[in-house]
Structure 1
Amino acid sequence: MLIEKLEEKNYSNNKLLLKEMVLNIGNPNPYIRDKLVYNSFLEIITKNYLTNAQLKNLFEQLVTNQYFLYKIGSKNDDTVYKRSFSALTLGILINKEQSFLEKFHISFSVDKTYFFLLNEQDRRGFTNEKGWAHSIAHCTDLLDEIVTHPLFEQDLYDKTLESILFCVNDSFVYEDDEIERLSTPSAALINRYGLSQEYLSMIDRLISNFLSKQSYSHLDTRMISNVRNYLRAVYFKVNLEENKRVLLNRLKKITT
């Protein structure tokens, strides 16, 4: 019944439909999860099928340990789909033009995404049988909506970038555009607030830790490759030439 209604885009009696959609937000079937449920969330949220009270309730439900942080720390199992697609849907909610959110929702969201990025262990991108897992990319997409929201405050800047750099400084081989996606909220913050000294210090520590080694393991090589690709991506997305120059100076240290 859910599949039939979503295929027909029949959003009448949306209270019951919304409940079924939430229950299937992490469905292992990629057709149901991605093509039907996610796309239907996109439509009913952006085209005002839901009241502000429904939007707020949906946000408060998805941001919990039962959805966005569901079994965080699990690896290579189906729980990742619930976390990942909760992140995408939260991003739609935060992006909504007529926002129902208040300032504390934004700071709360930063805390949750910070926890997510520091604790997510399932970093798979595309999975052959079940489609996109993409937890890091989807959480970063959510983060981009948060940092560009009018209620985002500058005192959350360094914490946000710390969580991004934590993911960058990893030996995992990102294969599905994750580094590019990690660079997007980073550049958005730099374009909005400039380069903070703490952010530059975090980057300098990553570079120094690598350069101080006498020899490099294959894991070291992967990590510095992630850092290099990240800095390149951020460099091309920042606006001010002065900020580009500062980033380029760091990039040159690890470019052969």
Structure 2
Amino acid sequence: MESAFWDRVVAEGHKVPTDRSLADLTSELTAMLGDPDPRLRDGIAYEVLATWVSEGVYDDLLQGLGDGMAAGLMVGIGERDTDTVFRRSFSALILGECVSRDNERHVVPPDTILRWGDRAAGWLVRERDVRGYVPGKGWAHAVAHGADVLAALARSDAVGRLELTVLLDVIADRLLTQSDRLLHGEDDRLALATMQILRRDLVSLDVVERWLARLAEKARPDHERDGGAYAVAGNVQQFLRALHLQLALAPRPPARRADLLLALIDRLKQVNPDYLT
């Protein structure tokens, strides 16, 4: 379809067109999620799909839509600096919308949510294109969008203590994977996902302390590492500081915020001795 058709849909408040099948509309919007043109990808495809999901247009079809987005996470996986990142990243964003809708309405089986979670976790750890803003093509932001999916999953009733622990490990795995520095707010988004996990008050303090210790091991610059001393340490440091800020100041704190803060502060002191002695 010509973009003018979709411009009219947006201009008319995202009403579902009645002269075309929802399946055909969804297929075209899904393809547009991978378009390098940010107007088509962000301004039309994401905006329309997210609106229709939140308004219940897909409630009877949410499982199929989410499965399609989960499949989109694997398109071009392993590539760097190519346009396939847009399909993966924006599929993750819509998958998060599907999970959030189910959190409100419970319209898909719990095992579907867990399956989506497995696909999202596997993708986020394997993603190698961590560009934030791409000149001329807009936001890729795969790590931030992956964090948003994890945050939605952490709020799901289908996700219990074991799965929440896995989500923490996924966040650690992502941070401990050598990559380019994350410079576009990804640390804050990953910290927010962590806060959603901690707010469930299901993961024990011992588990969180071991998780923090694992991160702290790699939070000092490694001057022997190929790719730069801060290839891992810089991302971990940013994340720990963002998590400290949110844990200290964010509303709706976890029940054991004081204990969690003490554990986090201990690790921050450990990995920043030059500044905190």
Same fold, TM-score > 0.5, yes or no: yes
Per the alignment, in what secondary structure is the counterpart of residue 181 of structure 2? coil
The root-mean-square deviation of aligned C-alpha atoms, in Å, is 2.1
Work out whether 1:174 is the aligned partner of 2:182.
yes
Work out whether 1:219 is the aligned partner of 2:228.
yes
Identity %: 23
Cα distance 1:128–1:92, how it changes in 2: closer, same or farther (>3 A)? Answer: same
Q: Which of 79, 85, 88 is the aligned partner of 2:90?
A: 85
Q: Which of 188, 210, 216 is the aligned partner of 1:207?
A: 216
The 8 Å contact of residues 187 and 237 in structure 1, kept in 2 or not, is answered as yes
Cα distance 1:177–1:2, how it changes in 2: closer, same or farther (>3 A)? Answer: same
* Aligned position for 2:250: none
Work out whether 1:17 is the aligned partner of 2:25.
yes
| Equivalent runs, 1:26-45 vs 2, <5 Å | 26-45=34-53
The unaligned stretches of length 5 or more in structure 2 are 10-14, 248-252
The unaligned stretches of length 5 or more in structure 1 are none
* Aligned position for 1:254: 271
Work out whether 1:71 is the aligned partner of 2:49.
no
| Separation (CA, whole Å) in 1 of partners of 2:121 and 2:55 | 30
More displaced, 96-105 or 176-185? 96-105
| Separation (CA, whole Å) in 2 of partners of 1:130 and 1:212 | 33
| Separation (CA, whole Å) in 1 of partners of 2:96 and 2:259 | 31
Amino acid at match of 1:230: F
What is the Cα deviation at residue 223 of structure 1?
Answer: 2.4
Q: TM-score, normalised by structure 1?
A: 0.90
Cα distance 1:245–1:219, how it changes in 2: closer, same or farther (>3 A)? Answer: same
| Equivalent runs, 1:180-199 vs 2, <5 Å | 180-192=188-200, 193-199=202-208
What is the Cα deviation at residue 2 of structure 1?
Answer: 4.7
| Equivalent runs, 1:56-135 vs 2, <5 Å | 56-64=63-71, 67-96=72-101, 97-135=104-142
State how many pairs are aligned: 252
